[in-house]
Amino acid sequence: ACIDAGYPASPFADEPFANGNRVNLGRYGNTAQASKSRSAIVSNAPASEVSLIGALIGGVLVATNAPGTAVTIYWGPTDAGTDTASWSNSIAFGTRPLGAFSTNLTGLASGTPYFFRCRADNAAGASWADSTTYFMTLASPMTIANDWGATNVSSSNAWLNARLLASNASPTTAWFCWG
């Protein structure tokens, strides 16, 4: 590989960006015809450990193609694509070696969709995962208040009264136990 493999102290100012801040070997080194460095390759991993209020998100740094590759995960309740300013949150991992990286998100709203996308930056430029990954936190389980007590109580039966305060929007069945 001759791209960005020249002597580190050699000039490279005439090479097109992204040049890896290093001269190319061969005939076109330090010229406008020099080959550009390839950006890093990063991918999203599926979200895991999804709960009512959290999830584990991450990705994989597949290739760096230049030294000093930093990784960031952008995330939020809307998909902002590759527009860093439009993402509501980001987590910077700093310079990373090849391989997997992940972080736990906590304090999320239950039953809510979230999106994330990984980005890698180095001297060769910025590179995004091919697409955004989506996950949805678990919905809150149903909540019942039986603060209305029993009515129509007799020696053989009673009406048990309760209120369904919240459900996960699925068909809901409730049971009452006594005895």
pLDDT class of 178 with cuts at 50, 70, 90: low
- % of the chain residues with pLDDT over 70: 71
- pLDDT value of position 25: 67
5-23 pLDDT, tens digit each:
666 777 777 766 666 666 6
Asked if residue 151 has pLDDT above 70, the reply is yes
- pLDDT value of position 161: 77
Q: What is the mean pLDDT of residues 165-173?
A: 61
pLDDT class of 152 with cuts at 50, 70, 90: confident
Of 166 and 59, more confident? 59
Q: Which residues pair with 37 in a beta bridge?
A: none
**DSSP characters over the chain:** --TT-S-TTS--TTSPSP-TTSPPSSTTTTSTTSPPPPPPEEEEEEEES--SS-EEEEEEEEE-SSSS-EEEEEEESS--TT-GGG-SEEEEEEE--SEEEEEEE-SPPTT-EEEEEEEEEETTEEEE-SS-EEEEPPPPPPEEE-TT-EES--SS--EE--EEEE--SS---------
Q: Of 29-33, 50-54, 72-76, which gets the smallest average pLDDT?
A: 29-33
Asked if residue 167 has pLDDT above 70, the reply is no
Query: How far, in Å, are 43, 93, 106 from residue 100 at the CA level?
Result: 9, 11, 20
- pLDDT value of position 166: 60
Q: What is the pTM of this model?
A: 0.65
76-102 pLDDT, tens digit each:
999 999 999 999 999 999 999 999 999
- pLDDT value of position 9: 78
